[in-house]
Every structure is written in C-alpha cells, then in structure tokens.
Chain A
Amino acid sequence: MDAWLNDPVTQSSLAPFLAGLVVTLALFKLRLGGLAAVAGFCATAWLIGELQFTPLTAKRKLMLLALAAPALGLLADFAWRPGRATAYVLGVVFAALSVWVFSSVLVQKPPVQAFITGGGIVLFVAWTVALTASLQGNSVRAGAAGLGLGLGAGFAALMAATASFAQLGMALGAASGAFLLVQMLLGRRIDAGLVFCLAVGVEGALVAAAALMLAKLGWIELAILAAVPLAARLPLPVRWPVWGQAILASLYTLACGGGAAAMAYLATR
C-alpha cells in the first residue's frame, strides 16, 4: 500500500482523479460538485507531504491560497450571485496576494528586476484568475480550462525541474478531468460555480508562477498558459451533446497547455 501511495503516478493523477470523481458524484446535487478541484489538489498535496504551513515558505503560502480560493468561492456562490465583475475583482485580489506569496524570493532580487518579475507575475495571475473565474456559468468550459491549465502547468513545471509543482499541476488537471467526466457520463451540465473556477484559476496560475520563480520555467511558457482560459471560450457547437462539447473544449485547452509544456521542453534542448 505504501509503495502504491508513494508512486508519483498515483500521487499526481490517480489519487486526485478519484478524489475529484468522488466529490463531484457525491456533492453535485447540492451544487457543490465544484469542490472537486480543491479535493484533487489537496489529495496530492497530502500524499507528497506538502500540506504543511510552517515555516511559511512561498510554497506553503501558495497552499494557503489554494485552500482560501475555493472557500471564498463557496461563500460567494451561496451568499450572492457572483457575476463577471466579481471574477475580475477576485483576479485583482489574488494577483495582489501573489506578491505576498513570492515576496521572499522577490526581496532577494535587485529592485528593478524584482519590480519587473513581480509585475509580470501579478499580471499573469490577475489575467488567469479573472478569466478562469468568469467561466463559472459554464461548467463544461470551466472543466476544460482546469484540465488544460492543470496539465499544461504540471508538465511545463516538470520540464522546468520541479517535481512537486509538476505533481500539483497535474493533480488539478486530473481532478478537473473527473469533474468533466461526470458531466459527460450524466449527459448534462452540473454547477461549477466560483468554488470550482476560482480554485482552478488560483491554483493553476500560482503553480505555473511558482515554477517560474522557484525553478526554470520561462515567460513564454507562462504566456501560453495564460491563453488557456481564452481557449476555453472558443466556439462549441450548441447542438452537440455535453460529452462532445467537453471533448472539443478540452482539445482547445489541452492544445494551449500542451504548447506550454512543449515550449518548456524545447527550452531544455
């Protein structure tokens, strides 16, 4: 059993997929199926020993925000009806918090470089979180965005020499895949809500940003990943069944995510 739980494939794909699947199936009738994203992410974080919060390093601050985002999303989903403006505001909020996450790295850089790097991260996080969170009304597109962003960030992080962030990214992708799969099997959409979309946006963006700040991911790969929530907005045939739309939307987002991973690989050559 221990060997199985210590297997990286189990940790980064099977366990988060199962966690996402169980949570989606168990809670979608309560409009809480969107908790799948954070369930998968936390399952992997727990298995690889990253669910710790002291000392408060950049990775642990990231974990705190990864937990705070769906909690905030859940609150918003039930307290009021969040619209597009809420998504944009949350994008700005989490972008500002990303400075806090990486402050211990930024302070060690020369001021100009810290400003440029920090500014780039802020823009990336704001963009990705806002555009992903605003997919809350369309669970197929939201699930596809989570799949593409998670797997793209995960494989790109692997190429950038950080296994733990790679596993966390892949976990997000696997859990989002489970969320999509339930919709495909049911043949209907289930609520994603801000609880899902905010978790996907924050976790995906911060994992990618961490791979840049703490490993060797490049800005080009980050820019390609930023296109994932845009790719999730590409046209889908309205008459297609849910499973067909889910596959097509996933192809869109996986093309972006795969492009980022491919660029990360080429950068190592």
Chain B
Amino acid sequence: MKRIIVLGACALALPAFTFPITAAAQVETYNIDQYHTVPYWETDHLGFATLRGRFDRATGSFTIDRGAKAGTFDIVIQTASLNTGDTDRGTRPRTRDEHLRTSDFFNVAEFPTMTFKGNKVVFNGDDVASVEGNLTLLGVTRPVTLKMTRWKCGPDMRARATSAAATPSARSSARISA
C-alpha cells in the first residue's frame, strides 16, 4: 500500500492569548487557546480527491519581541485527536480515522504527539510574516517554515480589566500555513 498521507498544510488559529505579565517587558507571551486552535492538513487521495483532516487538540505558546523582531513558537499536537469526519464504520471493518491512527499513518500509540518548535520569527514591518522552525512527526524532524497569512492582535472583548493595575487582556489570532 502506498502511503498517501503527508502533512500538506497546517492552519492554526491562535485567538485567545493573555497579554504579557509585566508591562515593562517587551516580550509578549501568548498561550494557545486549545478550544479555538485548529491544526489541519490535507492530502491528495490517489489523484482523485483532496482529503482534509484536522487535529482537535493542540497546545503551545507563542512569544514575540516586537522591539527585537524576534520570537518563538511552540505547538504540541495530540495526534490521536485527528478527525477526518469518518467515524462510522458502516459495512467496513474500520473507519478511516481508525486506520489513520495506526502505524500505517500517524502511529498514535508510539508517537502520541507531533511538535513544531519555531525559533525564528520573521517580520514584515510590524507584522509577523513567517516562523521558521522544526516539525517533528513520527520521530523524524524536518525544517519547516510557516507562513503567516493572517495576523490580528487586539483587546479580548471577553475579559474586563478590574483595575488600572491589572494586567490587560488581549486577543490575537493568526492563520498560518506551511
């Protein structure tokens, strides 16, 4: 059987970040909101169709130093949370999702996570343009550059500051593709 799965594309939404702990520091640290972050992938299916899937669980953080034009981006994706929408066996002995979890593809029993460790944030003016780092999947690490196709940062409307001294809350989102 020829493998048809590759990590074709990854889009991440990082919408709910908390703002820096100290206002004086220029380094901003954001934690990924796992409920609004969706790494997804797509692959060509034997030349006839494009199969799309997503991972329902991902955690990580993003640090950015706008002054120094630097930052890091770490994300850990739970591979067992993959979801292609095929969960009903029907007359088949297995669903596609069950097959994708086995050692033929994502091998979740042996490699429960995949990680991206970004160590270089590239800016375009004041905006983040891309993140360069290493993607580790199935025990293999390869350099990958994530291109930022959307970057938005602003106050989190769900949070209200209780005092002037309180750490302000912010909300930021990004769409990234590899």
Contacts and interface: CB of A to CB of B under 8 A. Distances in A.
A216 B139 contact: no
B166 interface: no
Interface string A195-223: 00000000000000010011110000000
Interface in B59-112: 89, 92-94, 98-99, 101-104, 107, 109-110, 112
A55 interface: yes
Contact of B99 (A8, A49, A105, A161): A161
Interface residues of A, number: 28
Which of B110, B138, B139: most chain A CB closer than 10 A? B110
Contact of A164 (B89, B92, B98, B103): B103
B118 to A, nearest CB: 22
A88 interface: no
B2 interface: yes
Contacts, number: 63
A108 B112 contact: yes
Interface residues of B, number: 20
Contacts of B110: 57-58, 104-105, 108, 214
A71 B31 CA distance: 53
A158 B93 CA distance: 9
Contact of A161 (B2, B98, B138): B98
Contacts of B94: 159-161, 216, 268
Interface of B: 1-3, 89, 92-94, 98-99, 101-104, 107, 109-110, 112, 138-140
Interface of A: 6, 8, 11, 48-49, 55, 57-59, 104-105, 108, 158-165, 167, 210, 213-216, 265, 268
19 contacts: A11-B1, A55-B140, A57-B110, A57-B139, A104-B110, A105-B109, A159-B94, A161-B99, A161-B102, A161-B104, A162-B99, A162-B102, A162-B103, A164-B1, A164-B103, A214-B102, A214-B103, A215-B102, A216-B94
